[in-house]
């Protein structure tokens, strides 16, 4: 038998799915702009702004459900997780905008030695974003758990990049640009892992760390 609260949870999930799809589009556009050396600053900024605008309605709907329907423990786990995931999606947009802003001001990565690492790190980060959104839609715990290995790989590439940067002479602008971008990629990967943790929590009640 369907409960009154179920319609509200379905509406909230639909809002969050739309936000997730927009977040994935924003991150992908920003990263590929940097990798392909194609300026898309205005497009990324508009998408990031739209993501920020989506947070308030999701938060308002969550609190309305809590007030109106007296959710039980399993419902509260879902609501708590959705609020956290909403924040993670907003951070996706913010870091995507930061990458676009760095490219706008300092240009892309021209050094071949670092370009390969950044491309590999970007590919792994985009995979994590995609998996985080897929696991949200399906509440698939095992899929969410795979984010742990990917997050460790992103961290490994991040430190590999730092070690190379220390030992190599590169132009100041290129060094600053790439250093900031790999840091933003690392943070996006972290937030994808946070989403995985939230999915596992809402589905099982288990609190784990995927980082």
b/e code 99-136 from CB counts within 10 Å (16+ = b): bbbbbeebebbebeebeebbeebbebbbbbbebbbebb
Nearest Cα to 41, choosing from 96, 118, 92, 91? 96
pLDDT of residue 108: 74
Torsion-angle region of residue 139: left (phi > 0), alpha (psi -120 to 50) or beta? left
Q: Largest Cα–Cα distance of the chain, in whole Å?
A: 67
| Cα separation, 157 vs 146, whole angstroms | 17
Total-model pTM: 0.94
- Asked if residues 183 and 155 have their Cβ atoms less than 8 Å apart, the reply is no
4-204, CATH topology level:
Methane Monooxygenase Hydroxylase; Chain G, domain 1 (1.20.58)
Q: Report CA 111 to chain centroid distance, whole Å.
A: 27
pLDDT of residue 171: 67
pLDDT tens digits in sequence order for the chain, 211 residues long: 788 899 999 999 999 999 999 999 999 999 999 999 899 999 999 999 999 999 999 999 999 999 999 899 999 999 999 999 999 999 999 999 999 999 998 877 667 778 889 999 999 999 999 999 999 999 999 999 999 999 999 999 999 999 888 887 766 767 788 899 999 999 999 999 999 999 999 999 999 999 8
> Where are the domains positioned within the chain?
4-204
| Cα separation, 50 vs 9, whole angstroms | 22
Residue spans of alpha helices (H) in 37-72:
41-69
pLDDT of residue 99: 96
């Amino acid at each position: 038998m369907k409960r009154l609260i179920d319609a509200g949870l379905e509406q909230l999930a639909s809002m969050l799915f739309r936000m997730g799809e927009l977040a994935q589009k924003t991150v992908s556009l920003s990263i590929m702009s940097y990798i392909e050396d194609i300026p898309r600053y205005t497009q990324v900024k508009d998408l990031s702004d739209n993501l920020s605008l989506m947070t308030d309605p999701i938060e308002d709907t969550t609190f309305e459900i809590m007030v109106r329907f007296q959710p039980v423990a399993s419902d509260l786990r879902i609501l708590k997780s959705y609020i956290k995931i909403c924040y993670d999606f907003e951070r996706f947009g913010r870091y995507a905008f930061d990458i676009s802003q760095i490219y706008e001001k300092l240009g892309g990565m021209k050094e071949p030695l670092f370009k390969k690492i950044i491309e590999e790190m970007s590919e792994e980060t985009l995979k994590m974003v995609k998996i985080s959104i897929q696991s949200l839609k399906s509440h698939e715990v095992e899929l969410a758990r795979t984010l742990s290995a990917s997050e460790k790989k992103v961290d490994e590439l991040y430190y590999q990049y730092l070690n190379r940067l220390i030992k190599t002479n590169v132009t100041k602008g290129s060094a600053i640009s790439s250093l900031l971008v790999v840091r933003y990629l690392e943070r996006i990967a972290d937030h994808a892992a946070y989403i995985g943790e939230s999915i596992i929590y809402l589905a099982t009640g288990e609190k784990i760390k995927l980082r």
